[in-house]
């Protein structure tokens, strides 16, 4: 036989061998994976969310409107380099603008304490304790927000916030100046 015939038979047998191997691999069963049943999963599921101030401003606004059943709000909360509350209060039948700014401080349990920074009512400066007491008595705040006029602070108990999901909220970082906000969603224990 000539050399080209031997080369052709060799190439043909290599091709046939490759086809048999590929067909054999195709018809092999895949590695069996046993799915975990929900009762076998242990621990809490956690999801860390990185947020920007603009996104949180929208979420806060939507949450407050839903919480108050779309009643008109007499205040707005905006995140800038500080937490800013703008609202109106009624004095002698007239609406007067009020602005309070707070510096947020994250607690070990993931809640937030807002320390009073500035306060202005129109152009008049009033004692912070008096205004916080007024806000506490006259603004419709969620149950998980506690105003403490004595310490001039607002405690935001995110652990007590009612969500429509099976998660708790825990703040890990709340750096407004650098727009670095990290929130952790933790599945509730059953």
41: pLDDT strictly greater than 60:
no
Average pLDDT over residues 52-78: 78
The pLDDT value recorded for residue 64 is 75
- Which of 102-106, 131-135, 178-182 has the lowest average pLDDT? 131-135
Give the mean model confidence (pLDDT) for residues 1-5.
Answer: 79
What angle is formed at CA 50 by the lines to CA 45 and CA 51, rounded to 5 degrees? 130
As to burial, measured by CB atoms within 10 angstroms (0-12 exposed, 13-18 middle, 19+ buried), residue 72 is exposed
Q: State the DSSP H helix or E strand holding residue 183, giving kind and residue range, or none if neither.
A: strand 180-187
Q: What is the DSSP letter of 154?
A: E
pLDDT tier for residue 34 given thresholds of 50, 70 and 90: low
11-47 exposure pattern, b = at least 16 Cβ within 10 A, e = fewer: eeeeeeeeeeeeeeeeeeeeeeeeeeeeeeeeeeeee
183 compared with 90, residue with greater pLDDT: 183
Q: For position 71, what pLDDT does the model report?
A: 55
Both tokens of 105, joined, read 């401080």
Q: Are 75 and 61 in contact (CB under 8 A)?
A: no
């Amino acid at each position: 036989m000539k050399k080209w015939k031997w080369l052709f038979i060799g190439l043909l047998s290599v091709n046939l061998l490759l086809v048999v191997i590929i067909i054999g691999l195709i018809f092999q069963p895949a590695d069996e994976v046993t799915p975990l049943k929900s009762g076998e999963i242990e621990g809490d599921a956690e999801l860390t969310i990185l947020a920007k101030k603009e996104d949180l401003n929208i979420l806060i606004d939507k949450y407050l409107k839903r919480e108050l059943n779309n009643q008109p709000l007499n205040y707005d909360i905006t995140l800038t380099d500080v937490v800013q509350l703008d609202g109106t209060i009624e004095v002698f039948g007239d609406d007067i603008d009020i602005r309070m700014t707070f510096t947020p401080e994250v607690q070990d349990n993931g809640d937030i304490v807002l320390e009073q920074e500035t306060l202005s009512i129109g152009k008049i400066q009033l004692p912070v304790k008096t205004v916080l007491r007024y806000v506490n008595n006259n603004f419709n705040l969620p149950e998980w927000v506690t105003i403490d006029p004595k310490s001039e602070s607002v405690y935001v108990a995110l652990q007590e916030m009612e969500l429509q999901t099976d998660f708790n909220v825990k703040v890990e970082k709340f750096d407004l100046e650098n727009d670095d906000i990290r929130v952790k969603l933790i599945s509730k224990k059953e």
